[in-house]
Every structure is written in structure tokens, then in C-alpha cells.
Amino acid sequence: MRYFLSVAYQGTRYAGFQIQDGQETIQSQVTKALETLFREHFTLTGSSRTDSGVHAIQNYFHFDTNIELTARHQYNLNAILPSDIAVTGIFQVMETAHCRFDATERVYKYLIYKHKNPFLADRGWLYPYPLSQEILNRLAIVLMEYEDFSSFSKRNTQVFTYNCAISSAYWEVRGNGELEFHIRSNRFLRGMIRGIVGTMMRMARMDQTVAEAEAMFRSVIEAKDCSKADFTTPARGLYLMEVNYPDGLLKAVEKNE
């Protein structure tokens, strides 16, 4: 039987999502919890490979097993996992379902705060400098006019296409002055969101008009050259919020009374 496992985590102390030799990752911790509970080998496939320090409200693994899982196993796994990783759901799926390739869209947010806050030190980017909200809003709209995001993909990325279908991108100001960038797309490139946010922030801090910032932002995208973008944005402000699938693909396991 094939199962999807949804997980949430704070990525601060992990070397990313995907398993790596000799390093603690989200995948290594979840694999270890499954093998501790069931005392058999598990091979996990992940839906989205978040980098070191990136967090997730929702991400997925899939795996095959002869064991019939129930909702009770979610409680058991969470009792084994460290406090910064949680299993949020177990779903039985068709044997051909794939948590990466069947995903229809992914949603991320990036959190920025202006004043020192010890509770956000590992969960956002402290950026105390003045910014033009008008420029940020305009650049988010411009972003959705494009499909090729070569400029926002880090080098040495092996992909067949740099095209992404961004369906939503906007900035939101929270009541306490925090800034959040929200973006939704069918797929993302390696480093893409941090490159977009860093480039937008650089332009929103410059002394220029909205039209000038827009022209500069378009020139970065149209150059299709990652050296034109700003990838210095720290990982700690990035959150994977949702991974969405076609209706009916996920069926939550039932509780075993």
C-alpha cells in the first residue's frame, strides 16, 4: 500500500529537507521515526526539497508498506519525532500516486520584520530599513506577467525548463508592521523565491520612482541571467505553506478503535 505523510517543521537546525549522508534532515528524522515504530526499512520520497533553515507548514512524503496504517500511528510517530517536526496527517493513496509529480501547485510565504524580536530570530528576516510598499506591490504584479524565471534560479540546477506558472503573488502588511510575501505556482526553481524577494527588496530600498523600479525589475527577469538577481535573502524567513493535489487523491486513514 502507498501512503502520503504530511509534515510540518521548523527547519532551523536541519541541513534541509532531503536526506544527506552524515547530516540531520527532515527526511532522515521521519525515516528514523518510522523505522523505530515499525522495525522495518522505509524509503521516503519527498514532494518539495526545502533548503537548510527553511520551514514548512505543510510538506509531504510518500512511501510503500505492507503495514496498514491508522490515525493512531500519527500520534505514535509524533511521540518519537523531535519537537520541531510534526506529522499532521496520514493518507492512503493509489499505488501510482506520487507526492512530487502529482502536486498541482505549491504556496510559499516569506516573512520580514522591522524591529528586533527574539521570537522571530530564526523565523523571519530582520530588515529595519525603509522600504517603498508601492514598489513592492507593483513588482509583485509585474512578476505574474512572465513565465521564464531563469534569472531567479541558482546555478548548477538540472531542470528541463525554467518556466513556472505563477498564479498569485502579493505583499501583505500585518498589524504589527511585519511584511509577508505570498506566492503560488505550479512549480518553483532552486532558490527562486529567495531570489525574487531579495531582488524586490533591493529595488524597494533604492531612491527611485515606481516606474524606474519596474523597468529595472523587468530587465533582471528578461536578462535570464542569475547574476543579475539578489540571492542573499536568508533562508529563515521562508515557509512552504501548502502543497496541493487533485481532488480525491488524498484519503485520510481512519482511527483504529
Catalytic residue among 21, 51, 122, 247: 51
DSSP track, 232-244: ---GGGEEEEEEE
Residue 176, helix vs strand vs coil: coil
Q: Is 51 a catalytic residue?
A: yes
Measured distance CA(203)–CA(197) in Å, rounded: 10
Residue position matching grid coordinates 481512519? 254
> End-to-end alpha-carbon separation of the chain, Å?
21
Measured distance CA(88)–CA(6) in Å, rounded: 5
Q: Are 178 and 124 in contact (CB under 8 A)?
A: yes
Measured distance CA(62)–CA(201) in Å, rounded: 36
CA angle 68, 74, 80 (to 5 degrees): 115
What are the CA-CA distances from residue 52 to residues 93, 108, 189, 214, 237 (Å)? 29, 15, 16, 31, 12
Give, as one character, the DSSP assignment of residue 217: H
Give helix 133-143 / helix 192-205 axis angle, nearest 10°: 140
What are the CA-CA distances from residue 61 to residues 30, 89, 162 (Å)? 9, 11, 24
Q: Which three cell numbers stand for residue 143?
A: 512578476
Q: Which three cell numbers stand for residue 174?
A: 500585518
Catalytic residues: 51
